[in-house]
Chain A
Amino acid sequence: MGTEWWDVEELDELPVLLELIKVKKTYVIGKRKLEVIRDVSFKMYDGEFIAILGPSGCGKSTLLRIIAGLEKPTSGQILFMNKPIEGISPRIAMVFQSPALLPWLTALENVSLVLEARGMDKKTSMEIARRYLSLVGLAGFENSYPRELSGGMKQRVSIARALAVSPQLLLLDEAFSQLDPLTAESLRSEILDLWRMGVAGIRGIILVTHAVDEAVFMTDRIIVLSSRPTTVVKEVVIDLPRPRNRRSKRFLEILDEVYEYIS
């Protein structure tokens, strides 16, 4: 997993992991209708790390929640591995902006809880939780409570919690936006390392962000969304090998290109 990069033409030859077909979302508030998402369609291929990029409030997090099965689209269809998503799927995990850990549980217990909730026995769930905490650099912090962890470490626990259920698709909803900038950079690098090492059997990652640099630095392709009601403005393939150099000419060209589409 975590293949380097592809040419645009090569994408169509890869198996499709996720497909959104004319997804629409409209909220009804009293007598008013608020159209948030309008006919969004795109494909995500097996082994891809993509970004959904758009201005704040454009509906990109709503789109991610629909993909996660947390919300239903008003119309349209979402296929995951060629089957429609109907509700929450055990093969899809999500990391939110805020870690949302239970403060009375240790880091280990916070991770193992999701496994126990899926029917796993306590001993096995603890072993798996320990393994995933170690994977995100938190070996030694198993017995720490959330109040004893920094913001970055709490977010690592939430990443371990997401990975522990062995998802095939990992959704990152502005997962770095509430961290201080350097901690966010460290965590981005760790996610990329996990992705490149192919751990946890993840077949695809979707990052929702409004940070252009983050999207270009991390992902294989960017789906650029318009402001509300959101539509797909452009798909930009990031034809850069990893690790990426932010000062390279091509990196800066892609940044400029993406900024043009969102402005």
Chain B
Amino acid sequence: MTGRKLTLRSSISQVLGLIEVAYSSGGMLDASEVNNVTDVDLDILSHVIDDAEALGLLEFKEGNISLTSIGEKIAMENPKVVKKILRKQLVSVEPFKTVLKMLEEKGEIDREEVVDIIVKKSNPDDLDEAFMNFIQWGLYTNIFTYDHDDEIIKPIETGGRLSSYRKRKHKLTSFFI
């Protein structure tokens, strides 16, 4: 997964939706079939495919989508397991990789710092949309918490929240058990 990144131009629901479409079509189909089944906008579909591929959920070659074993698991498992799998995939994908490294060092980071990382790693057209998607991926997979009022991101530790800088020495891996 080295060097992989999310475009942050698609949402979790869109990525999971694509996996469901592929799974209900036998695990393999071409992009035009996705368009036929769902009538999804092709511009959006390309970003969804990129993000699903970056997460190792599918392979996209010569216009054909085929689910990986991880993608098949996502389609079959219950939401709790799906979150676990996605969390495992996300932590090695940019911009999450860099954000999590910074969280490990600083204990908490604000919106501006996250946006800087998003710009460097994903270079999205629409920053607000990218930030919203980033937050939604992180909250959905329980990687971090987000304080909507103070716009602060904090990591989640098993059994409780790491609420302050004094807990920053916790190993990164402890966030994802």
Contact = CB atoms under 8 A, between A and B. Distances in A.
Given A180-B40, A182-B38, A247-B25, A150 B142 contact: no
B139 A140 contact: yes
Interface residues of A, number: 34
Interface stretch (A28-36, A43-51, A84-92, A187-195): A187-195
Interface residues of B, number: 35
Contact of A183 (B14, B140, B145, B148): B14
Contacts of B14: 180, 182-183, 186
A243 B23 contact: yes
Contacts of A75: none
A244 interface: yes
Contacts of A180: 14, 40-41, 44
Nearest to B135: A148
Contacts of B17: 181-187, 189
Contacts of B15: 182
Q: Is the interface of B mostly helix, strand, loop or mixed?
A: helix
B18 A182 contact: yes
A145 B148 contact: yes
A246 B24 contact: yes
Contacts of A197: 78
Given A193-B79, A245-B26, A246-B24, A150 B13 contact: yes
Contacts of A139: 142
Interface string B1-28: 0000000000111111110110111100
Interface of B: 11-18, 20-21, 23-26, 37-41, 44-45, 48, 75-76, 78-79, 83, 132, 135-136, 139-140, 142, 145, 148
